[in-house]
Structure 1
Amino acid sequence: MSRSTPARSLVALTLPALLALTAASGCSSTTEPTAAPAPSPSASVVQKATPTDAAWVQLMTPMNEKAVALLTLAADRATEPRARAFASRLRGGQEAELGRLRPLLARMGLPDTDVHAGHAMPGMVTEQDLAAAKAAEGAAFDRLFLARIRDHLRHSAQVSRSEITAGARADAKRLAAVLVTAREAALAELEGLPGAGRALG
């Protein structure tokens, strides 16, 4: 995939759109997973991952990883105490999700690598965002943090809703539903934070 991939210009990213985008750009985000070992008679039948399942988990994992990096900064540097507390709680939730996303990658036979490295995907906190956050102070930091985290929450919720409706693996769809619920709650809390109206208006 080239660096010309549109990023924040995309209002909502769905998995069909992601699949079309990666296919057109030559990005191998949906590498065919390796065959899972045959389950024992007492084990649950392992469902094969479709390209939709693979696209979702391979996007959600780096999205959470980058968000955690920004949330770590915000938990220490946001000027508003409520924003710092929000960042700390959300970081814990995103890390817990990573604790389920990474094993899901393994169960699908997919590598634990960022296939979108260097690509500005919608809702992805970029290295440029992190550099800007490190350089920002005071209210400027808060505005950047709130805007980028809202983008992350909104886009990851949108893609997770698409996994729920278009995915095939039961474990992936269950986790996607958990992520959607968590993001809806986080977005509601974010909108009530001091300064959110100015930062997100």
Structure 2
Amino acid sequence: MASRRSLVRRAAALATAATAATVLAACGSSSDSSSSSPAPGHSGHDMGAMHPSGTASAGSHDPQDVSFAQGMIPHHRQAVAMADMAASRAKSQQVKDLAAKIEKAQDPEIDTMSGWLKAWGAKVPGAGKSGMESMPGMDHSASPMPGMMSDDDMGKLKGLSGDAFDMAFLQMMISHHRGAIEMAKTEQAKGAYGPAKTMAKSIVTSQSAEITEMNKMLGKQ
């Protein structure tokens, strides 16, 4: 009987020891876990530090970049509005093809520049029928920026068709392109934002080529 009680006590002691070992192990694991918890925190901090550096390049712009985008958006919109007229009013297929090319090139650039302005917290010019209404307080009877057509110019173009439209469209678009090139060269010289300067360079190259093409259509070259 005594030996049986001894066995029971020994078993109870072993069970208690096992429980204590489990508790200690759990405490050790918890301690290890809490000591390692700063690692995810550091990782998260590092990730957070990456975001400012990631947006720094997008934010490294100057007032000229903002001015370029805010001016070129309505300028492009007006060119697209002029190009839209060509589909139903132009007689020459060359003029129609050129207009389609202009629209295809400038529509995406409008979206891109609008995205820049939003990212910079700057005002995106509102869309107007002729590109003129997007500039508040502007005298619509005069050209607000290089190469921009007045409302009267746009109205006259809209009232033309056939050969008369082709002639007026080419003359106006040459002037319009020259204005865009002037604006783009200013951005190249004074801007700070890489993608904007790259777009400006592309505008100078592509629109200079289109001016040459339009002059040939007018028989000037």
Q: TM-score, normalised by structure 1?
A: 0.71
| Structure index of larger Rg | 2
CA offsets per residue over residues 35-91 of structure 1, 9 Å max, x none? xxx971561413343222222111100000011111110132111111111111111
1:108 to 109, 120, 141: 120
Structure 1 residue identity aligned to 2:122: L
Moved over 6 A (4+): none
CA offsets per residue over residues 12-57 of structure 1, 9 Å max, x none? xxxxxxxxxxxxxxxxxxxxxxxxxx97156141334322222211
Aligned to 1:143: 167
Aligned to 1:90: 102
Q: Which moves more between the two structures, 178-187 or 66-75?
A: 178-187
Tell me if 1:120 matches 2:132: no
More helix per residue: 1 or 2?
Answer: 2
Aligned partners of 1:191 and 1:94: how far apart in 2? 20
2:214 to 190, 196, 201: 190
Aligned partners of 1:137 and 1:75: how far apart in 2? 10
The alignment covers a number of residue pairs equal to 160
Matches within 5 A, 1:139-178: 139-178=163-202
Aligned partners of 2:59 and 2:215: how far apart in 1? 38
Aligned to 1:43: 54
Paired-residue identity, %: 28
Structure with more contact order per residue of length (Cα contacts < 8 Å, sep ≥ 6) = 1
CA RMSD, 1 decimal = 2.3
CA offsets per residue over residues 108-165 of structure 1, 9 Å max, x none? 2211223365352221133222211121232221121111111111110111011011
Gaps of at least 5 residues in structure 2 are: 1-48, 126-133
For the Cα contact (< 8 Å) 1:160–1:176, is it kept in 2? yes
Q: Which moves more between the two structures, 149-158 or 44-53?
A: 44-53
For the Cα contact (< 8 Å) 2:147–2:175, is it kept in 1? yes
For the Cα contact (< 8 Å) 1:58–1:115, is it kept in 2? no
In the TM superposition, what is the alpha-carbon distance from 1:170 to its structure 2 partner? 1.6
Aligned partners of 1:137 and 1:82: how far apart in 2? 15
2:59 is paired with a residue whose SS is coil
